[in-house]
Amino acid sequence: MMRQYELVERVKRYNPSTDEALLNRAYVYAMMAHGNQKRASGDLFFGHPLEVAAILTDLKLDDATIAAAVLHDTVEDTQATLEEINKAFGPQIGALVDGLTKIKRLDLVSKQAAQGENFRKLLLAIADDVRVLLVKLADRLHNMRTLQFMPPEKRKRIAEETLDIYAPLAGRMGIQEMREELEELAFQNLDAEAYEAISRHLREVTAKSEKLVEEIERDLTAKLKAQGIQAMVTGRQKRPYSIWRKMERKSVSFEQLSDIFGFRVIVGTVDECYRALGVVHTSWPMVPGRYKDYISTPKQNDYKSIHTTVIGPGSQRVELQIRTIAMDEVAEYGIAAHALYKEGVNDNSRLATESRAYQWLRRTIDLLAEGDTPEEFLEHTKLELFHDQVFCFTPKGRLIALPRGATPIDFAYAVHTDVGNTAVGCKINGRMAPLLTELQNGDEVEIVRAAGQTPPAAWESLVVTGKARASIRRATRAAVRQQYTGLGRQILERAFERAHRTFSDEKLKGALPRLARISIEDVLAAVGRGEMFSGDVVRAVYPDYKEERRGVGGDGAVQSEKKSSTPAKEFGEQGANAIPIRGLNADMPVRFAPEGGAVPGDRIVGILTPGEGVTIYPIQSPSLAAFDNEPDRWIDVRWDVEPDDPQRFPARIKLQSINEPGSLAQITQVIADHDGNIDNVAMKRRTQDFTDVTIDLAVWDLKHLNAIIAELRTKPVVSRVDRVNG
């Protein structure tokens, strides 16, 4: 275990003016707090935060971050409190420890909804201070190095979480060395057999190619020196996980891979980078399509380098990365390579201007405000994390970075949401092209737009960026809602006209509390979807309005008039010459739709089944589509309930309930309080957090049913409730 003076010495190597007293106090406080706690390996627990701090000293981080690393488990795993940390070490270190404590409580490999919500919390915890993420990554790296002591099931869960979340985050922050080690350790634990097989092949190739690597290093160094370029040339073997991923992506065997080795050329200036590239390309043939200039167009994580592949000595493919010393430091340490925290200045506004990686993080946080579900947010963010990039240009020369595989639709939404929503075509490099064309590096893309255009819902499954998917989904929802709103307005205008009452938005706005809706658009959409009866809206606006009704007898008979060829849409208005059909004991038995029933207040239609009688459906029932081609079976029916002799009618509702003790009791209590009768309840676990509940009710009429639904919607344990129209 690292001693107290050793920790201080590690920091003093890169920061001679370090606050030794702060580091010593953090060391002693954490050691006393953890006491004799042990890890799964049997080692003292206190050794873990020290190793985390040691990893961060390799990144040359500031004193506050190192102290927070030493203290990061105290609040969660000991009797220490956040108040004590704030008092002893100040609010800056206290905030770092608090953020790390919140992250530690998250389970990022879980049911999808919980995983998405926890990932939101993770990004929010690191949004205010990216050092929280750096400490968490170092914490995860040391845990992965000692993962062999955990039970197999927990090992698998932690490795999956590392490969899914933490390794890509390290890559996005530009810390490539840490990302590669996290991927290696996760791969080793998730597929030990594949890891060992590739490692064995690599050892064999290395033994055979050792002299070739030395020859290329020596030859390239000499060629550069002859042109007056002082360079450090080093060869490195690719890691097993990188090779395995390439084999999976290209569906090739290990033997078919020709670029097992990569070489790094470190020079002094940007000018020497391009001069070195010239030396390489004039010395060996270049492999077409393998040249990338990330100096002129850096990656979003600040990575800068020139990549090229040539056919080197022995007809061996050689990958080369050419960069300056400063670029190499950013490539290895990413966001931690910026001087901000080393100067002891906690100013994220400066970091945002220095670090494109942090700008990406802030843009990702902005997605939280878009109203997506946790699952959607997780999906979008993972898309952003895992894809490599292509660089395209607008006609005015603006650079747009997109994930590999992106289309002009993704490009349009990257420019602006309105551009994407109104896109109808595109030009790539001056030529018309399909909107689903895969973009390549350097493409110039011009989007053709049309006013009033709405993106097709199918686009959502065709784009690759999170922003495009979220925008298309929102635009589709808005378009559907707008259609229902328009339909609802037409229905209400006719209903008010029949009632000889004036209809206006102002009058409807005053009735919103009685209708249990927030906005006029909510009322119109509910009427358009058939969730609210137009007569209820008229009565809500004009409480003195009395709707005229014809009556049936006390036996609840339903009156009807046969229509030989009337389509479904005409069955809203009731005929004046209805023929009475009296109950199950009459010549024509009557029953209700088995999947949802019907209640007074519904516009209804009867379907005649020879030998079985008439089945009553609400006019909005999707089941009626099955009878569209059989007009002779349609019977125009209407309610004529006697007010003095009421009876209950069947209806079905479906809820999404939050899983917590007493939730079903709250739901049934609402129904009981409103004088509803429950005939049947069916429950099905939807996710870890939600349950689908289907309830068959007996209610007096549509107003009664809507009152129950409206009250259920106010309950915190109910996330959604809808009527089922069978």
- 633's tokens: 């079976």
**pLDDT value of residue 688:** 66
Quickly count: other Cβ atoms within 10 Å of residue 396's Cβ. Answer: 7
Greater confidence (208 vs 695) lies with 695
In this prediction, residue 413 has a pLDDT band, given cuts at 50, 70 and 90, of very high
Query: Which residues are identified as catalytic?
Result: 76-77
Please give the residue that has the higher pLDDT: either 29 or 108: 29
Instruction: State how beta strands 423-428 and 399-403 pair.
Output: unpaired
* Integer angstrom CA distances of residue 544 from 114, 516, 539, 695: 49, 19, 7, 33
Q: What is the pLDDT of residues 99-140, one digit of tens each?
A: 887 766 555 555 555 555 556 666 666 666 778 888 989 999
Look at 579 and 402; give whichever has higher pLDDT.
402
Domains of the chain as residue ranges with CATH: 4-192 (1.10.3210.10), 193-337 (3.30.460.10), 475-541 (no CATH), 558-638 (no CATH), 649-724 (3.30.70.260)
Q: Cβ distance 419 to 470 under 8 Å?
A: no
Torsion of CA 658, 659, 660, 661, to 10 degrees: 120
Task: Report the alpha-carbon distance of residue 15 to residue 338 in Å, rounded.
Answer: 14
Check residues 194 and 613 and name the one with the higher pLDDT. Answer: 194
DSSP β-ladder status, 261-267 and 317-324: parallel
The pLDDT-based confidence of 549 (bands split at 50, 70, 90) is: very low
- Cα–Cα distance, 593 to 304 (Å, whole number): 67
For the ranges 181-195, 451-465, 704-718, the lowest mean pLDDT is seen at 451-465
Q: What is the pLDDT of residues 657-700, one digit of tens each?
A: 887 788 899 999 999 999 999 999 999 887 767 789 999 999 98
Q: What mean pLDDT is predicted for residues 484-512?
A: 85
Nearest to 657 by CA among 667, 648, 647: 667
Say how far apart CA 15 and CA 266 lie, in whole Å: 25
CA dist 302 and 408 (Å) reads 24
Tell me the pTM.
0.52
- Cα-to-chain-centroid distance, residue 463: 14
Task: Specify which of 105-119, 514-528, 594-608, 703-717 reaches the highest per-range mean pLDDT.
Answer: 703-717
User: Which residues, listed in sequence order, are joined to residue 696 by a DSSP beta bridge?
Assistant: 652, 680
The whole-number average pLDDT for the span 299-327 is 84
Rounded distance, CA 564 to CA 218, Å?
95
pLDDT, tens digit, for every residue of 77-94? 888 898 999 999 999 898
Residue 9 confidence (pLDDT): 92
CB atoms within 10 A of CB 394: 16
Question: What is the model's pLDDT at position 344?
Answer: 45
Q: Residue 664, exposed/middle/buried by CB under 10 A (0-12, 13-18, 19+)?
A: middle
Q: How many residues does the chain have?
A: 726
The predicted-structure confidence for 361-380, as pLDDT tens digits, reads as follows 655 555 544 545 555 555 55
Over the chain, what is the mean pLDDT?
Answer: 79
User: In the predicted model, what is the mean pLDDT of residues 496-509?
Assistant: 87
Provide the 10 A C-beta neighbour count for residue 686: 16
Report the largest interatomic distance among the alpha carbons of the chain, rounded to a whole angstrom: 109
Better pLDDT: 567 or 602: 602
pLDDT tens-digit profile of 252-274? 676 666 567 788 999 999 999 99
Report pLDDT for 119.
62
Average pLDDT over residues 441-451: 87
